[in-house]
Structure 1
Amino acid sequence: MKGTCLCGAIEVVAEPKNEVSLCHCSMCRKWSSGALHAVHCGPDVTFKGAEPKRYQSSEWAVRGFCGECGTNLFYHLLPTNEYILSAGLFDNPDFKLTLEIFTDEKPDYYDLNPHSKKMTAQEVFEQFAPKE
């Protein structure tokens, strides 16, 4: 499946799952001005056109964006080499909202899907953090 940034300078080729996750953590909210709507794409992601700008936002992740228009492109989880891409890059009406994470950090000024699974920050780290 192909997607693009707002200005079209970067094309993304990936096979996202049809499930959208929302992240309410403070970093994602600052990065996207709200909950990050994301699709998991695994390690096989290709970027064409302009090279994405990268910012290492933590010791375990790098965020990417278009240097021309500023579109948020990806969250690259380094321990698993998984790309989590912004859902809005793709024109796919089949995406379904299934999971919300860092719900304990979500501000009160918005609510989205009352039926999606919800996980606190602690639950996310317990399930997804690398095991030592």
Structure 2
Amino acid sequence: MASVSEQRGACLCGAVHITAKPKNNNIGACHCSMCRKWGGGPLLAVECESNVNFEGKEHISTFDSSDWAERGFCRKCGTHLFYRLKEHGHYAIPVGLFNGDGDGDGEWRFSEQIFIDQKPSFYSFSEKTRDLTGEEVFAQYSGK
């Protein structure tokens, strides 16, 4: 696991700026039906735990997508800003927020796919990743 420096990014309109320190340089893909509905495809994100700061918080809206999580977006331009576990403060930040200009693409590593059992057959990734079903993801967070 390589260390990743603090990352900065912004939404499309620039109303919300984000500064975050990812846990590592790994990118994960979530194939759950909610992520695919939210963004039109899998969510490609980096884990930041609670090491996330926002400027322009007044422009952020959240949606309680489940009892345990919420999704944040810019209320001006609609850019997806985060998926957050309510109880643990864990943030998954779309990696595109940090790579909007193409800089720094080399430090990321696509390493994990979750809810692989919900991935539709019309797309696939060539990278070899750790793949978890929805049941395995819930077991991981519940400690079972």
How does the TM-score come out when normalised to structure 2? Answer: 0.86
Residue aligning to 2:21: 15
Work out which of the residue numbers 96, 99, 109 in structure 1 matches 2:109: 96
Residue aligning to 1:40: 47
Runs of 5+ in structure 1 lacking a partner? Answer: none
Q: For residue 32 of structure 2, what is the amino acid of its counterpart?
A: C
Distance 1:130 1:72, change over 3 A: farther
List structure 1 runs of 4+ shifted beyond 6 angstroms: none
Residue aligning to 2:122: 109
Cα distance in 2 for residues equivalent to 1:86 and 1:114:
19
Q: For residue 5 of structure 1, what is the amino acid of its counterpart?
A: C
What percentage of aligned pairs have identical amino acids? 44
Cα distance in 1 for residues equivalent to 2:118 and 2:63:
22
How many correspondences in the alignment?
Answer: 131
Work out which of the residue numbers 35, 52, 65 in structure 2 matches 1:57: 65
The answer to whether the Cα contact below 8 Å between 2:110 and 2:127 also exists between their aligned partners in 1 is no
Cα distance in 1 for residues equivalent to 2:14 and 2:8:
11
Distance 1:68 1:97, change over 3 A: same
- Tell me if 1:128 matches 2:137: no
Work out which of the residue numbers 53, 60, 83 in structure 1 matches 2:91: 83
Distance 1:114 1:55, change over 3 A: same
The Cα of 1:11 is off from its aligned counterpart by: 0.4
RMSD: 1.3
Residue aligning to 1:4: 10
The Cα of 1:19 is off from its aligned counterpart by: 0.7
SS, match of residue 34 in structure 1:
coil
How does the TM-score come out when normalised to structure 1? Answer: 0.93
The Cα of 1:68 is off from its aligned counterpart by: 1.1
Residue aligning to 2:32: 25
Cα distance in 1 for residues equivalent to 2:86 and 2:143:
10
The answer to whether the Cα contact below 8 Å between 1:39 and 1:86 also exists between their aligned partners in 2 is yes
The Cα of 1:44 is off from its aligned counterpart by: 2.1
